[in-house]
Structure formats: C-alpha cells, structure tokens
Structure 1
C-alpha cells in the first residue's frame, strides 16, 4: 500500500468555519475536503469543539457535498478528550464516540459555570451544553466581538477562582509557570470567541497523538503533514508531529498573534488573507497537488 502524499490536521474555528458565522461559509472548502478525501488524503479535524458541533457544522456539509464511504476522515474533539470517525457508512455520519472520562471537569464546577452565565453573562455568552469533558463559554453570535473581549477576562478570573475554591490546581494557558507544588490539573484557555476550561493534559498535541492512532488503524501514515490553525496553541499539533519524526509544516491563518520560531516551516496566506479565506486558499492548492 502506498503512503498518502499528504495528511491534514485541521483546527475548525478559523481555518474551516468562519469565526463570525461559526459555519463553513466558503463552499469551496467543502468541495476541496471531499475531493482530497476521495484521493485518499487523511483528514483529521483536531478541535476544541464538541462532537455535536462537528456533526452539525462540518459532517452535515461534507455528506451533502458528496463525501464517500471509505475516506480516512476523523474528528478529535475537545482537545483530545473525544474522538470518532466520519463518513456516510456511519449513522448520522459519525461513528460511536470514544470519551476520555479522566479528562472531564467536576460536574459541580460545570453547574456553577452554567449558573454564573445565567445570572451575570447571559447577554454576552452561552454555556455549551454539548461538551462531554471541557466546560466552554462562547460569545453569542449577535454580540460584537469587541464587547465580548472587554468582559472575557472578568469571567475567566471567576472561573479560575471557582476551581481554586475546590482546592484544584489551575493556570491560564499563557502562564507557563507551574504552581508551587506542581499540582496543576486544569487550565483556562481564552480564545477570540470563547473561554475553554479543560484538563491540563489535553491540547492540540494530544489531539495529534489521537489522530495518528486513528489513522494507524485504517492505512499507511502520510509522507508529509500540514497542520492548520488560527492561534498559538494550534502550533502544538506541528510540535508533536515534528518531535515524533514526521515531516510537517504549519499553516497559521491568523498570524497577527505573532509567528514563533519553530524547527519546521510556518506558512501564511499572501495579501493579509486570514481565517477561512486563508484556509480555502491552502485547501485549493493542496487539491491541485501544490
């Protein structure tokens, strides 16, 4: 069996789904993903999103766009805590879920965050009821992003305090300092449209590891990888692949956060194109064999 020429590890929000509409807004993205899967290119969506979001906003359009059975398409959701396979051979387009229960937050913490949203932030965000392990609070679509970002840190501080009251070690994603006894268990990860509270063991690197475990079960691993994301945390996909001996380049579709020094190439779209418009350009290039 010949190894595929390319493998794709794709964040969803930003490169694939518009961060404004939270849907796949560019039709060529679906067409190119379907064509690449038909060619035998492995595609894994490596995301913090829930399986319910992927089913509705990604799997549905792919099936409608003609995704064929037998393609090597998978999803790793909630940053490694939930995973499944995708295709028309499965009921609803997705296989049964695998869930890492040891990565789930305490239920009483989730209940407190749900009540906090209801009592103080219902005009700004919603509590994502579809998550199995993470706790996610997301900006309402009708709310201006600037208004959301102005209050995000306030919510994040309350989430951290709630974990600390329970005696649980917690850090912000951008704080690389361990706590005094090294007992960090959870972290708070603010994005441009949400805050995720998650296990400190989860992440896009764990998602990459899960992705290769899935692909090892259905064929040869690719010769070359492209990882795609819109935040600094997405670089962890390429970090993991490079550290484990794979040829990889990372595509940053929102490089305004700054492109770090890496031991692998980092690609950005020309002309200042970002988010799903940049994702669409790269997918079109890869479909043509570029």
Structure 2
C-alpha cells in the first residue's frame, strides 16, 4: 500500500447514490470507472449499507472486479447497517463476518416471511439474502404508490407480530417494551423497503467499523465525504465529525429534508439518486487530477 496519505476518504451508501433505486443496479457506467480510479489513488472507500453481502457481491463488487480493480487499495463493505462486514480486493469479496448477536429470533423471521407470502406477495418480497436483519422490499414491477400503500399495512402487521412474540420494538412514535422494559428492535421504513433490525445497528456503528479496517492499512485521510439518500445516512458524517475529521455529507435526496448539522451538507444541484452520486464521484476524480470528468 502506498505510504502517502490519501487526500480523501469516502463512506458511501449504496441504494440511491451508487445503485439506482429503480433498477437496483449500478446503471451509470462512470460510477464504476470513477470508483476504480479513486481506489487506485489510495482513497479508502467504504460501502456502508443496509443491503446484504450477497447483493453487494452481485451488484457492486462483481462489476468492479470485471472492470479491473487495482491490486493495492483500501475498500470495505459493511452491510445490514453494521451486522455484516468484509474486505474487498482485486479478486472480489474477502471473508464475510456476521454478528449473530443482533439477529432477530428465528420464529419471528419465519412468521414475517409467512406474512409476506400470504398477504403481500403482489407488491413486495422477503429478502432471503439477509443474514441478521429482516428486510421486505418493493417488487420492481410494482408502482411505488401501490407499494407504499401496502407497506403501511405490512408494517402494522409486522409490529403486531413482534409484540406477540414478546419482543421490545419501536416503530415511528410507537414503542412497546419487552417484559424487561427494554426495546432492542425497531422497524425502519425506506422508500423501497422495510427493515426490521436491532437498535444497535446504524450507519454510525457501521462507519466506525469501516474506519477501523482502513486504519489497519495505513494512515487515514483527514478529509472525508459521506454520501447517502436517507436521513439516517447523516450518521456516517456524524461519526466522522465526532472523531475529529473534516467532513461534509452529500445528500442525494434532499427533498426529504436537509438536516441541520455542524458540518457542511452538499447537494448536487437538481440531480438526485445515482445521477447525483455519479456527479459527485466525477467531481473528485477531476479535482484530484486523476482523469477527465464532467463537472459536478
């Protein structure tokens, strides 16, 4: 690994800034080439996502490897908001580690799977690739408005299932503690999915794990950018700011509301989702003098 300190570090959400929320793939080719260029310049790149390791392997790592990742780089994946993690190398994903302590009980997982199959299969599917959390996702052939109507009903039913199994759970403004008075799980709504997860999982927790991995490979840059499309993605920058780094967060879906933070929040003009992500990456390729890129 080069001895020089990188001028930049990146923590990237996947759905939205990297993968299209409509196709669930990297639909903009420049994202692949720019990620490879930045990785080759010793820019630590962490994919900080609620997605599964299998999804990242198929939709992110495979196209990067096919396009030619550099031999020396620092690239890491932290999936399921911190429950699953692995290094990424020139040849693909390394060992996948799962924190089983944050997983939902098997009977609850089974009951939610059955609920989806029986009542909601026309609008959503149970993500069988998740290893610790539970995710139920919009079908790509279903209209977003129709999915959101069904999603609200599904989440109410899932909340009831968790209570019936004695689990402490938070869902929006509703809180139901377990018999010991604790609330170890939450139901989290996104525009294309519902995640049911441990409260110990979130993007700041995942960011901390990624930085620890990067530190093993050499000095960390002082300047960082986090990129995401959800309000919870700001937690990546929250962690970096609290740790003393110079950071700004790039919000690729600012219409949901730009949060007040003690660090800069950047938007890419009128661009959103992966178009904004592509503009951001292209800007840094150009700014660091690594190749021609369209201005952001």
Q: What is the TM-score with the length of structure 2 in the denominator?
A: 0.93
Q: Which moved more, 1:216-225 or 1:24-33?
A: 216-225
Corresponding residue of 1:274: 272
Change in Cα spacing, 1:194 to 1:252, as seen in structure 2 (3 Å) is same
- CA-CA distance at 1:182 after TM superposition: 5.6
Give the Cα separation in 1 of the matches to 2:145 and 2:45.
33
- CA-CA distance at 1:276 after TM superposition: 0.2
- CA-CA distance at 1:88 after TM superposition: 2.4
- CA-CA distance at 1:177 after TM superposition: 7.3
Corresponding residue of 2:287: 289
Question: What SS class does the counterpart of residue 283 from structure 1 fall into?
Answer: helix
Give the Cα separation in 1 of the matches to 2:245 and 2:162.
37
1:256-283, Cα deviation, whole Å (9 max, x unpaired) = 111111000000011x110000000000
Change in Cα spacing, 1:230 to 1:147, as seen in structure 2 (3 Å) is same
Over aligned residue pairs, what C-alpha RMSD do you find? 1.5
- CA-CA distance at 1:71 after TM superposition: 1.2
- CA-CA distance at 1:175 after TM superposition: 4.0
Question: What SS class does the counterpart of residue 184 from structure 1 fall into?
Answer: coil
* Match among 39, 42, 45 for residue 44 of structure 2: 42
* Match among 64, 79, 90 for residue 81 of structure 2: 79
Divergent runs of 4+, >2 A: 174-182
1:188-247, Cα deviation, whole Å (9 max, x unpaired) = 011000000000010001110111111111111112010000010111111111111111
Give the Cα separation in 2 of the matches to 1:237 and 1:228.
8
- Kindly indicate whether the alpha-carbon contact (under 8 Å) linking 2:163 and 2:176 is maintained by their aligned counterparts in 1: no
Q: What is the TM-score with the length of structure 1 in the denominator?
A: 0.95
Gaps of 5+ in 2: 289-296
Corresponding residue of 1:236: 235
1:37-72, Cα deviation, whole Å (9 max, x unpaired) = 001100000000000000000001101111122210
| Total equivalences in the alignment | 285
